[in-house]
Chain A
Amino acid sequence: MRSIQQLLMEHPFFAGLDDSTVSMLVGCSRNVHFRPGEYLFYEGEPADRFFVVRRGRVALDVHVLGQAEQIIDTLDEGEVVGWSWLVPPYRWFFDARAMQDVSAVAVDATCLRDKCDEDPALGYLMMQRVAQVMYHRLQSARVRLLDLYGADRAG
Chain B
Amino acid sequence: MPAEVSVAPVAAPIPDAWLPRPFRVVATRRDTHDTATLELEALDGDGLAFTPGQFTMLSAFGIGEVPISISGDPARPDRLVHTIRDVGGVTQALCAAQPGDVLGVRGPLGVGWGVPDAKGGDLVIVAGGIGLAPLRPAVLAVLAARQDFGRVHVLYGARTADDVLFVDDLAAWASAADVQVTVDRALRSWAGRVGLVTELIPRASFDPARTLALVCGPEVMMRYVAAALIARGLPPDRIRLSLERNMRCGIGLCGHCQLREYLICVDGPVLPLDAVQPLLGVREL
Contacts and interface: CB of A to CB of B under 8 A. Distances in A.
Q: Do A and B bind each other?
A: yes
Interface in A59-75: 59, 61, 68-74
The 8 A-B pairs at the shortest CB distance, nearest first, are namely: A149-B129, A149-B159, A71-B186, A155-B85, A74-B194, A69-B188, A155-B130, A144-B184
B194 A143 contact: no
A1 interface: no
Given A61-B188, A153-B244, A155-B82, 13 more contacts: A59-B188, A68-B187, A68-B188, A70-B186, A73-B195, A140-B199, A147-B184, A148-B220, A149-B130, A149-B158, A149-B218, A153-B87, A153-B130
Contacts of A153: 85, 87, 129-131, 218, 244
A90 to B, nearest CB: 25
A87 interface: no
Nearest to B90: A154
A146 B195 contact: no
Nearest to B216: A153
Interface in A70-129: 70-74, 76, 78, 99
19 contacts: A70-B186, A70-B187, A71-B185, A76-B193, A76-B203, A140-B195, A140-B196, A140-B199, A144-B185, A144-B196, A148-B128, A148-B220, A149-B221, A153-B87, A153-B130, A153-B218, A155-B68, A155-B85, A155-B133
A110 B284 CA distance: 53
B280 to A, nearest CB: 15
Contact of B195 (A68, A74, A151, A154): A74
Interface residues of B, number: 44
A73 B194 contact: yes
B252 interface: no
Interface in B192-232: 192-196, 198-199, 203, 217-218, 220-221, 224
B190 A71 contact: yes
Given A154-B87, A155-B84, A147 B130 contact: no
Tell me which of A146, A154, A155 has the highest count of chain B C-beta atoms within 10 A of its own C-beta: A155
Contacts of A99: 191
Nearest to B193: A74
Contacts of B101: none
A146 B220 contact: yes
B187 A71 contact: yes
B163 interface: yes
A135 to B, nearest CB: 13
Interface in B62-118: 66-69, 82-88, 91
Nearest to B133: A155
A143 B196 contact: yes
B185 A72 contact: yes
A30 B32 CA distance: 45
Interface string B148-182: 00000000011100010000000000000000000
B35 interface: yes
A71 B188 contact: yes
A148 B184 CA distance: 9
Contacts of B195: 73-74, 140
